[in-house]
Amino acid sequence: MPNYEYECKSCGGRFEVIQKFSDPMLTVCKLCNAKNIRKLLSPTSFVLKGSGWYATDYPSQDRKAATTTEKPKEEAKPAAGCASGCCSGACPPKG
């Protein structure tokens, strides 16, 4: 739920209230009980903390180049349990 900041025009005090979007605006000051308060527009407290989201979603040109370079292909290895390397049935006949 969002935090809303209110300011009282009578006492000049400011206070925050956690309210749902559907809750009605407050009309009474929590500090002095006056009936002339207004809701303030405040910058959001949304902060991205942690690692990775920016680096992985919007990589630099260097990072893009590093991820698109081809990796060297590995040589085919014989299947496990096949010492001769000719277990597929496509080997030349023994003479």
Enumerate residues 6+ apart whose C-beta is below 8 A from 48: 54
Instruction: Report pLDDT for 15.
Output: 93
Instruction: Report pLDDT for 17.
Output: 92
Instruction: Report pLDDT for 69.
Output: 65
Residue 49 placed within a domain = no
Instruction: Report pLDDT for 95.
Output: 58
Q: What's this model's pTM, rounded to 2 decimal places? A: 0.45
Residue 30 placed within a domain = yes
Residue 65 placed within a domain = no
Residue 26 placed within a domain = yes
Residue 59 placed within a domain = no
Instruction: Report pLDDT for 21.
Output: 85
Residue 86 placed within a domain = no
Q: Which domain holds residue 8?
A: 3-40
Q: How many domains does the chain have?
A: 1
Instruction: Please give the average pLDDT of every successive group of 10 residues along the chain, which has 95 residues.
Output: 89 92 92 93 70 60 68 60 62 65
Instruction: Report pLDDT for 1.
Output: 74
